[in-house]
Amino acid sequence: MSKSLIPKHPIIDYPDYKKFVDFLENKYKITLENINPYEFFRTELLDSLDTPNLDKYLGKFFQGRFNPVPTFKNIDDGFNKHLKFEDFTSKDEVRNISLWGLSCLKNLSFDTSVRLGKELEIIQSENPRDGRLDVVGFAKKELLVLEAKTSLFSLLSEGRFKYQIPSYKNECLKIIKGHNRVNEDEINLSIFLFIGGEETDLYPPNHPDCTTGQVGNISKIFYDQLTKYEIKFVSANALWAMASMADILGLRLNWYDLLPELFGEDNTIGLLSGGKVIVQNNSYEVKPLNLKG
């Protein structure tokens, strides 16, 4: 390959399954390629922090408080035009945050049989329009679906998540049940909102890092709806935290082991870079996690 044809950023490739049923059966014809956003932000992080500060930065993740992603200096107009990571995840569901989720899941996969897909069509039996699963992963009997949203404000103003998540869950379970019966398999399903934008918008209303608790009770409205519709979420920053810790600190963190365990308790409602969010008696708490032990 000539030097002029070498891509400026590492490429992420993934099968173009097109449909969820094809994903389950691992049937596809072509592979798609995109710039790997995780590798871009990883390079920016390493360029912006020296080793002592890097260790300190990564060590603050999942310790109860929000840990901001550094501001980036080396903006590349061919890929990222934003100074802040949160600006990147808040702009485009398909090109930015969905691709970000896919790249992080790939970085959190150590099993060679891991299967990842993006923008998969799924029939909705009670809706004339087919649905589209933004990010899907499968490994070791665990199937994960991420429904991408660019920010808390767009999520609430749109309002569709309250019906999308239950609908997608029901349709996926129908297909999985048939697959399990035919193949004598036992696939487990997890489906989460995957939210970009300012992560501080997503902290519970009484948390010291919450920026929406006093703005029309937006945070309380969000959490009340999560509880009412039995919906759980993961922030874009939380996947950044896990992926960068696994990569740079050399930790063996697998999404298909970690996420089902973290959300295995009924009172776990979300995952932020500060820790997991639990709900008890209509109050919410961010609990620190130890992912190094």
Three-state DSSP class for residue 129? coil
| Residue 50 CB contacts under 8 Å (≥ 6 apart), including other chains | none
Sign for the pseudo-dihedral over CA of 162, 116, 144, 203: negative
pLDDT of residue 1: 30
236 φ, ψ (degrees, to nearest 5): -60, -35
188, containing H or E segment: strand 188-195
**Region of residue 99 (left: phi > 0; alpha: psi -120 to 50; beta: else):** alpha
The confidence band for 64, taking pLDDT boundaries of 50, 70 and 90, is very high
Task: For residue 242, tell me if it sits in a domain.
Answer: yes
Give the least confident one: 50-64, 70-84, 172-186: 70-84
Task: For residue 3, tell me if it sits in a domain.
Answer: no
Tens digit of each residue's pLDDT (9 = 90 or more) over 70-111: 877 666 666 777 778 999 999 999 989 999 999 999 999 988
Task: For residue 2, tell me if it sits in a domain.
Answer: no
Tens digit of each residue's pLDDT (9 = 90 or more) over 279-289: 988 889 999 99
Is the pLDDT reported for residue 215 higher than 60? yes
Query: Domain range holding 173?
Result: 9-287
> What is the count of structural domains for the chain?
1
Retrieve residue 113's tokens: 């049989």
Task: For residue 239, tell me if it sits in a domain.
Answer: yes
Task: For residue 155, tell me if it sits in a domain.
Answer: yes
pLDDT of residue 81: 78
The confidence band for 170, taking pLDDT boundaries of 50, 70 and 90, is very high
Task: For residue 253, tell me if it sits in a domain.
Answer: yes
pLDDT of residue 84: 87
Cα separation, 260 vs 239, in Å, equals: 14
Is the pLDDT reported for residue 293 higher than 60? no
Mean pLDDT of the 178-204 span: 94
Task: For residue 185, tell me if it sits in a domain.
Answer: yes
> What is the CATH number for 203?
3.40.91
Q: How far is CA 72 from the centre of its chain?
A: 21
Task: For residue 292, tell me if it sits in a domain.
Answer: no
pLDDT of residue 130: 76
β-partners of residue 11 are 35
Please count the other Cβ atoms lying within 10 Å of the Cβ belonging to residue 225: 15
Orientation of helix 37-48 relative to helix 236-248, angle to 10°: 70
Is the pLDDT reported for residue 57 higher than 60? yes
